[in-house]
Amino acid sequence: MLDQIKGLHHVTSMARDARQNNDFFTHKLGLRRVKKTVNFDAPDVYHLYYGDEVGTPGSVMTYFPFPNIGKGRPGVGEVGTTVYSVPEGTLAYWEKRFADQGVNGVSREESFGEKRLRFAGPDGDGFALVEDKTDSRAPWAKGGIATDEAIRGFHSVSLRLKDGGATEELLKFMGYEEVDKSGNVRRLAVKNGNGADVVDIESLPTAAFADLGAGSVHHVAFAVENRAKQLEVRKALMDTGYGVTPVIDRDYFWAIYFRTPGGVLFEVATNEPGFDRDEDTAHLGEALKLPTQHQHLRPYLEQHLQKLEG
């Protein structure tokens, strides 16, 4: 069993409209845009990152807003719900805020003894807030939401799978342990993690497979401290029979990717070097930052990418 993985690193999803996406995360959720860059493989498309003050691993939601993308179809083989942690006793505040802000799909529920508030992103993305009195992570303090109510970071992701057994075994190999079960959902958690420590597996054997589109999660990334730890994880996964990509430099972290038995794309990403490698912490997310291979496109991109507030 591996011990290098320390919880979630980031979650990356698809969107249709960059401006709408930016407004939702920075204004409605009060997160900080910590990086405004472009997709490595499609540089005419933004890659937007939202998180806490510095984009701490375990807090970062990222998006590829493709202007002409169709809407995703929910199903199995994907991350169904991305769950944020908020302080105990704050769901009433968030329920009112969402009503005032016109957020869709808002409903209360309780799961694993935790009070939760479900809501939808601008493309129907599945989200929830969960009250967690043990979460001591500092929120972004300048997002227009009081620090005693603001989002702390991720709590968990929920995977929807036809058969969760093989993916559960994979997560256990990655250092997770089963900590609870409720109906057709198994809860796994990693010890000594970064606060974003939980993965739920929901088994839906008769459900149709998901179609990727706006509102869909593209991949979920797990955090390791550095490149040496990442190489250890890569070797262990390959020795177990997984097809893992070479290490890829994503400017703000190094990444490896592999497909899980249930169909979800997993990434293992390093905590280094971080989002302040090319911007001062005070100005994260303000300027358009381009990968080296796309610097020559700056005049075109600055003219044609949607202008974003903030």
> For position 141, which CATH number holds?
3.10.180.10
Beta-carbon contacts of residue 302 (< 8 Å; ≥ 6 apart):
288
- The Cα-based distances of 147 to 86, 88, 150, 194 in angstroms read 10, 13, 5, 19
Task: State the average pLDDT over residues 46-65.
Answer: 98
Whether residue 277 is contained in a domain is answered as yes
User: Is 309 inside a domain boundary?
Assistant: no
Residue-wise pLDDT for 190-234, tens only, equals 999 999 999 999 999 999 999 999 999 999 999 999 999 999 999
Residue 42 belongs to a domain: yes
Mean pLDDT, residues 31-59: 98
Instruction: Calculate the dihedral angle through the C-alpha atoms of 306, 297, 48, 41, rounding to the nearest 10 degrees.
Output: 120
**pLDDT at residue 306 tops 80:** yes
Q: Position 205: which residue type?
A: P
Residue 237 in any domain: the answer is: yes
pLDDT in tens, 157-186: 999 999 999 999 999 999 999 999 999 999
> Which structural domain, as residue segments, surrounds residue 148?
5-304
* Full-model pTM: 0.97
Within a domain: 310: no
φ, ψ dihedrals at 10, nearest 5° = -155, 170
The verdict on residue 249 lying in a domain is yes
pLDDT band at 310 (very low <50, low <70, confident <90, very high): confident
Q: With contact defined as beta carbons under 8 Å apart, do 18 and 305 qualify?
A: yes
* Residue 64 · residue 47 · CB < 8 Å: yes
Six-digit token string for 109: 């529920």
Q: Does residue 228 belong to any structural domain of this protein?
A: yes
Say how many domains are in the chain.
1
